[in-house]
Amino acid sequence: MKCLEEALRKSEMRLKAVQRIARIGDWEWEIPADRILWSDELFCIYGYEPQEVAPDLTIMLDSMHLCREEFIADIETCLKEGKDFETESVYSRRDGSETVLRTTARVSRKRNGRPQLLTGTVQEITEHRQMVRLLAEKEARLRTMVQTIPDLVWLKDAAGVYLLCNTIFERFFGAREADITGKTDYDFVDRKLADFFRQHDLKAMAAGEPSSNEEWVTFADDGHDALLDTIKTPMYDVEGKLIGVLGIARDITSRKHTEDALRESEELFRLAFEQGAEGIVFSEYGTGKIVYANATIGKIFGHSQEELLAGGRQLLYGHFEEELVISLPDVLLQKDFLSTRVRVARNDGTELVISLRLRLVRVGGKELEYLSVRDMTEKVHLENEAKESQARLIHANKMSSLGMLVSGMAHEINNPNNFIMFNSGMLADIWNDADRILNDYFRKYGEFSLGGLPYPEVGTAASKLIAGINEGSQRIKIIVDDLKDFSRQDTLETNREMDVNEAVLKAAAILTPHIKTHTVNFHMHLQESIPRNVGNVHKFEQVIINLLMNALQSLPDKQCGVTVSTAMKDENTIIVVIKDEGGGMTGETMARLAEPFFTTKNASAGTGLGLFISKSLLTTLNGNLRFESEPGTGTSAIIELPIRHKDINQ
């Protein structure tokens, strides 16, 4: 008996402990006696100490919110129909706190069917209610997020059956979620694509980790094609059991097009960068380390890519003049630097003219020096040629104008000179007749004077004066005729016979005043047996004049001389040598003699075009011009002219 009592006591203790932990209290209503019993835990649930108040249905009803009538109706139904009931309601404890209680009841009847006992439980489910509410809120937020996310989202079970999907995914299949769940890919797309989807599902589940792939699909709602970047992740329950695959796919069509366009643009830029005519270098500001250099910069300076990267910025700066290198840091801090005429030397020593642009740029948060170089050598050469051509045109125009001026002057001088020549002859005849009369008068009457001079001295002087006037007018005529011949246009004269010695004599005659100004030792040695040649005599005369002028202007004083000689070098070549006793020339100066605008004279003495023009004129005559000279020994200008015969067809 005692054992049974002890076992009962322990059972009651365990029941109380369980009720306390689970926050469950039980109650009984003995209907015939109208007596209600509460467990200790039920007192606590309602906010009382055990046995502090007499258990009563009124306490239960008075603390109930809103559901009082429903609770009474449930009890009455249970008593009448014998149905169990369960209800939840908010209760107020006597300390003012609120709690949510779940109340259950079951009726027991007598043999006659009348209700005898109503038993039930009351469980505090406030925390459970809160957890359910929080779970519902989280589920609602999650679903809202899944539905509003711009990506396609879906969940399949391990067999490939859809469990859920979002709105964007509905557009892909062209069906509502309710029509998609419970079905597989094979119900919506062709077998090939469905196999592809299934293959990647199985791949993710087999790997036990996310698997990604790109796939082109067609949306069923509007038929547009899209490239999807899909990630499939295996999903597991709390026990680690595989429950399915979560799929998320993002439409990357626009990004793909942008990437393709960017890749194409980068390729075009790379080709322009690498194959362009401009050499480009990016180097770190401060350290000078070259970050990137295109192939063109290496070709310009004669370095390989490896040499540039190893040598850095200093390797390139080594090609620049020191003053320029010193100024570059200040230029970087100010603005773009551009010089279209920077002379540099390639690695092999070849001289170049380059344009140089330098500026500071910021790339990826780093300051870099941007250096661009363009080889301007050929352009400068063409520009110089254009200037030379323009100078030749200007010179030709000047010579043409001068020829017209000389021709006009010669005409104006010829007219009065003709009077002088005619009248001087007549005056000589008159004087001869008068001199005989004056001589008879002198013999009869003795000495007398004419013009302050005594006779007969005045007779001798007058004859010489008249002869001088005649000789002077003849010299004027020769000079004027030479000038007219020299200024005559070159038309139709390339196949005319010319006498080389005569051309030399005419050139010397034209320059007679200059010869007398510069030297008292001017000599000519002209070989008489030189045959007549064919060519433009005026061009040849101009060459002789240019060379003679150079020879005369090189003389340091009038005692130094100039010698002009002609001879036959061989049976087919005439040679003309103009030798001066000037200061001579260095080899470097001689190498540049034929360059246009190169001159050793001051600006007022020449333009530097004389020898250039002379060589050009001789070229048209098939001739050649060379020089022999050393410092202190004078200079010899040597013309070699091949003998040509007149073309009978011209």
Which pLDDT score, from 0 to 100, does residue 339 have?
A: 63
Structure tokens of 608?
């530097």
Q: Which CATH architecture has domain 494-642?
A: 2-Layer Sandwich (3.30)
Highest mean pLDDT among 72-86, 95-109, 301-315, 558-572: 558-572
Return the bridge partners of 534, or none: 497
Which pLDDT score, from 0 to 100, does residue 533 have?
A: 85
199 pLDDT exceeds 90? yes
Residue-wise pLDDT tens digits, 38-85: 888 888 888 888 888 888 877 777 777 656 778 778 888 888 888 888
Strand order in the sheet with 573-580: 522-526, 562-570, 573-580, 635-642, 624-629
Least confident of 139-148, 197-206, 434-443: 139-148
The closest of 199, 194, 161 to 180, measured between CA atoms, is 161
- Higher-confidence residue of 553 and 126: namely 553
- CB neighbour list of residue 303: distance below 8 Å, 6 or more residues apart: 297, 311, 315, 347
Q: Residue 336 — pLDDT band, cuts 50, 70, 90?
A: low
Q: Cα separation of 476 and 471, whole Å?
A: 9
Q: CATH: 3.30.450.20, 3.40.50.1980, 3.30.930.10, 3.20.20.140. Which one for 276-375?
A: 3.30.450.20
Mean pLDDT of the chain: 82
Average pLDDT estimate for 501-517: 88
**CATH class of the domain comprising 149-257:** alpha beta
In the three-class reduction of DSSP (H, G, I as helix; E, B as strand; rest coil), residue 398 is classed as helix
Q: Where are the domains of the chain?
A: 15-126, 149-257, 276-375, 380-483, 494-642
- Residue 111 contacts residue 31 (beta carbons within 8 Å): no
Return the bridge partners of 117, or none: 30, 108
The percent of residues in the chain predicted with pLDDT above 70, rounded, is: 87
Where do runs of H (alpha helix) occur along 276-376? 295-301, 305-317, 322-332
635 pLDDT exceeds 50? yes
- CB neighbour list of residue 273: distance below 8 Å, 6 or more residues apart: 280, 294
Domains 276-375 and 494-642 share a fold: no
- Higher-confidence residue of 288 and 140: namely 288
602 pLDDT exceeds 60? no
Q: Cα separation of 490 and 616, whole Å?
A: 15
Least confident of 176-180, 224-228, 306-310: 306-310
Structure tokens of 545?
């004049």
Residue-wise DSSP of 20-85: HHHTEEEEEEETTTTEEEE-HHHHHHTT--TTSS---HHHHHHTB-S-HHHHHHHHHHHHHH---E
- Residue 6 contacts residue 13 (beta carbons within 8 Å): no
Highest mean pLDDT among 145-154, 200-209, 495-504: 200-209
Least confident of 146-160, 192-206, 417-431: 417-431
In the three-class reduction of DSSP (H, G, I as helix; E, B as strand; rest coil), residue 14 is classed as helix
Q: State which amino acid sits at residue 488.
A: R
Q: Residue 491 — pLDDT band, cuts 50, 70, 90?
A: very low
The percent of residues in the chain predicted with pLDDT above 90, rounded, is: 21
Which pLDDT score, from 0 to 100, does residue 483 have?
A: 65
26 pLDDT exceeds 80? yes
Structure tokens of 638?
């040597």
Which pLDDT score, from 0 to 100, does residue 603 have?
A: 45
Residue in this structure with the two tokens 């150079």, named with its chain if needed: 550
357 pLDDT exceeds 60? yes
Q: Is the dihedral of CA 118, 124, 128, 129 positive or negative?
A: positive
Which pLDDT score, from 0 to 100, does residue 312 have?
A: 84
Which pLDDT score, from 0 to 100, does residue 154 have?
A: 92
Judged on CB neighbours under 10 Å (0-12, 13-18, 19+), 151 is middle
Average pLDDT estimate for 124-141: 80
493 pLDDT exceeds 60? no
Q: Residue 648 — pLDDT band, cuts 50, 70, 90?
A: very low
Residue-wise pLDDT tens digits, 223-249: 999 999 999 999 998 888 999 999 999
Average pLDDT estimate for 347-368: 83
122 pLDDT exceeds 60? yes
Q: Cα separation of 526 and 568, whole Å?
A: 10
Element (DSSP H or E) covering residue 629? strand 624-629
Least confident of 288-302, 610-624, 636-650: 636-650
Highest mean pLDDT among 159-168, 326-335, 611-620: 159-168
Average pLDDT estimate for 353-372: 83
- Residue 629 contacts residue 590 (beta carbons within 8 Å): yes
Residue-wise DSSP of 255-279: HHHHHHHHHHHHHHHHHHHHHSSEE
492 pLDDT exceeds 70? no
Average pLDDT estimate for 437-456: 82
Beta-strand relationship, 522-526 and 562-570: parallel
Where do runs of H (alpha helix) occur along 318-456? 322-332, 377-445
User: From the CA atom positions of the chain, what is the Rg in Å?
Assistant: 62
- Higher-confidence residue of 565 and 591: namely 565
Query: What global pTM score does this model have?
Result: 0.42
Tell me the CA end-to-end span of the chain in Å, nearest whole number.
164
- Per residue in 448-483, is it b (16+ CB within 10 Å) or e — as a string? eeeeeeebeebbeebeeebeebbeebeebbebbebb
Average pLDDT estimate for 564-570: 92
Q: Cα separation of 151 and 156, whole Å?
A: 16
Return the bridge partners of 109, or none: 115
Q: Cα separation of 239 and 283, whole Å?
A: 59
Which pLDDT score, from 0 to 100, does residue 638 have?
A: 92
Least confident of 115-119, 192-196, 313-317, 514-518: 313-317
Q: Which CATH architecture has domain 15-126?
A: 2-Layer Sandwich (3.30)
644 pLDDT exceeds 90? no
Average pLDDT estimate for 31-43: 86
Structure tokens of 196?
């592809």
